[in-house]
Amino acid sequence: MDAAQRRQHILSLARRQGDVDVQKLAVDLEVAPETIRRDLSLLAQQGLVRRTHGGAYPVETARFETALQSRTTRLTVEKRRIATAAVEHLGDAESIFIDEGYTPQLVAEALPTHRPLTVVTASLHTAATLAASPSVTVLLLGGRVRGRTLATVDQWATTMLASFVIDLAFVGANGISRKHGLTTPDPAVAAVKAQVMAVARRVVFTGVHTKFGASSFCRFGDVADLDTIVTDTALPASEAHRYSLLGPVVLRV
């Protein structure tokens, strides 16, 4: 296996597993850890992975997006804290939108059950979770169901959204950066998210620190379009402040 083949193997493994470990790769591929670190550094320079202490995880691109199942295994404690803190910003909202993705699913689970709410969502999982609650009216957006995320997209979803005025939207993204704003790999998903941003009175972004500084293929909004950002404490306070200068309140929980 030459260097190019080794790096492709490492990238494929990262995408399949969700992350890779330097020491384990070195043993499995029978090379020095320094060689693996150089490989990961090159992949990081190409925007294909992001380095962590002792390893790396894949960056989502136009050709690669993590499946919903893999998102339920990484940083789950942080995601639950974020979801709980995000729901505290519900205020007097009566109609809300809950995005596709694992962290928004946790937001749905954390919603209060003692007050009536109308919830609009593209997520089949979220719709099923909330449909059993007697205090929640669920509106599931129509359209094509993406198998990777079990959420609806395309014209039926965006047309339905265009007819609403939503008090509060809980929105996620595959990447958020001060330069490129909010991004996601799939144009159809981006269209739904952009329409949500257009019809919501308030928008709360929920996402772990690994989303920050990352960018994917399709832009659907600016940081300045957000009212609040809720993330975890691994995002440095200095970086959180830089995002806050663009307009939103940034909370690290």
Q: What is the pLDDT of residues 150-180, one digit of tens each?
A: 999 999 999 999 999 999 999 999 999 999 9
Domain match, 101 and 26 both:
no
Rounded distance between C-alpha atoms, residue 46 and residue 26, angstroms = 21
Contacts 24+ apart (CB under 8 A), 37-43: 39/3, 39/6, 39/7, 39/10, 40/10, 42/7, 43/7, 43/10, 43/11
Rounded distance between C-alpha atoms, residue 141 and residue 63, angstroms = 25
CB burial of residue 124 (10 Å; 0-12, 13-18, 19+): middle
The pLDDT score that the predictor gives to residue 18 is 80
Question: Domain boundary residue among 18, 33, 59?
Answer: 59
Candidates 128, 112, 127, 119; CA nearest to 96 is 119
Domain match, 111 and 182 both:
yes
Cα 182 to Cα 48, 77, 120, 134, distances in angstroms: 18, 23, 21, 34
The pLDDT score that the predictor gives to residue 68 is 56
The pTM of the full predicted model, rounded to 2 decimals, is 0.82
Q: Is residue 64 domain-resident?
A: no
Domain count, the chain: 2
Domain match, 54 and 74 both:
no
Q: Is residue 124 domain-resident?
A: yes
The pLDDT score that the predictor gives to residue 63 is 62
Domain match, 48 and 74 both:
no
Domain match, 146 and 98 both:
yes
Domain that holds residue 128: 69-252
The pLDDT score that the predictor gives to residue 1 is 82
The pLDDT score that the predictor gives to residue 49 is 87
The pLDDT score that the predictor gives to residue 89 is 97
Q: Is residue 183 domain-resident?
A: yes
The residues, ordered by sequence, that sit 6+ positions from 242 with a Cβ below 8 Å of its Cβ are 178
The segments of the chain whose pLDDT lies below 50 read: none
SS3 assignment, position 164: coil
The pLDDT score that the predictor gives to residue 67 is 61
Domain match, 20 and 43 both:
yes
